Amino acid sequence: MNKMFKNEVTGETREFEVADTRKRLILATNGSKWKVVPRPKPKSRSCRRDGIVSNLITICDELSSIKDELKSLESEEDLIEEIEQGQGREYPKDFNYGLDEGRKKQEELKLKLEEVKQQREAFIADAQCLVKKINIGEVEKLLDELQDWRDNMTGTSLESTQKYQILDECVVIFYEVINSLKSISNIYSEGDIERVMSVLREVINNLRSVEFPGMFYKGR
């Protein structure tokens, strides 16, 4: 018999097959203690969809913040151009530092350019991490449930009802959503961030448009 257990140290919940659940058992490695906890109540499809939407909105907002940070960085092209223009120029001697002003300026610009490159790479890496947080699996679970529900109605008198039509529309939308999310690839530039945000906005709008029929909805 399977029961739900919670790790008393980490708070992790996990399902175990056990014979005796009346006392605390040592079930995991390293002697971690687990105790029996009630199973969480299943969430409605609408609630699960809203959770997916909320997660995507958060990711989209964080990507927008990263895009703004990237825009605030100095232009690498301008720095490179300034470095090139300064090469070969003659400047008066700066005896305090033992270097001419030209060399000092060049070194400062090169350091600034390297700093900007590192900052840009860090922001792009953060954006890529956000993309990896997109949970397509949860969307696929909902699609599987909707497909099974619709397929069980196929070939019966329910196939001609409004409920079947609504389910069929849900399946189509979820297919489109999954394909859109799968089209999101690696992020290498600010343009990629904008592209991902555009896809996420469209996905969010599509998910919000989904109308789930109730289990006992009959329609016409």
The per-residue pLDDT for 93 is 53
- Looking at the fold, whether 18 and 76 belong to one and the same domain comes out as no
**Domain of residue 50, residue span:** 45-208
Let me know if 120 is exposed, middle or buried by CB neighbors in 10 A (0-12, 13-18, 19+).
middle
Q: How many domains does the chain have?
A: 2
Pick 177 or 85 by higher pLDDT: 177
End-to-end, the C-alpha distance of the chain in Å comes to 43
Pick 161 or 34 by higher pLDDT: 161
Q: Does residue 217 sit within a domain?
A: no
Q: How do residues 68-81 score in pLDDT, each as one tens digit? A: 999 988 888 888 88
- Looking at the fold, whether 96 and 174 belong to one and the same domain comes out as yes
Q: What is the mean pLDDT of the chain?
A: 82
- Looking at the fold, whether 32 and 53 belong to one and the same domain comes out as no
- Looking at the fold, whether 63 and 150 belong to one and the same domain comes out as yes
- Provide mean pLDDT across the span 8-26: 63
Confidence band of 22 (pLDDT split at 50, 70, 90): very low
DSSP readout, 151-203? Answer: HHHTTSGGGGSHHHHHHHHHHHHHHHHHHHHHT-----SHHHHHHHHHHHHHH
Q: How do residues 140-154 score in pLDDT, each as one tens digit? A: 999 999 999 999 998
Confidence band of 96 (pLDDT split at 50, 70, 90): very low
Q: Does residue 29 sit within a domain?
A: yes
pTM exceeds cut of 0.75: no
Q: Does residue 218 sit within a domain?
A: no
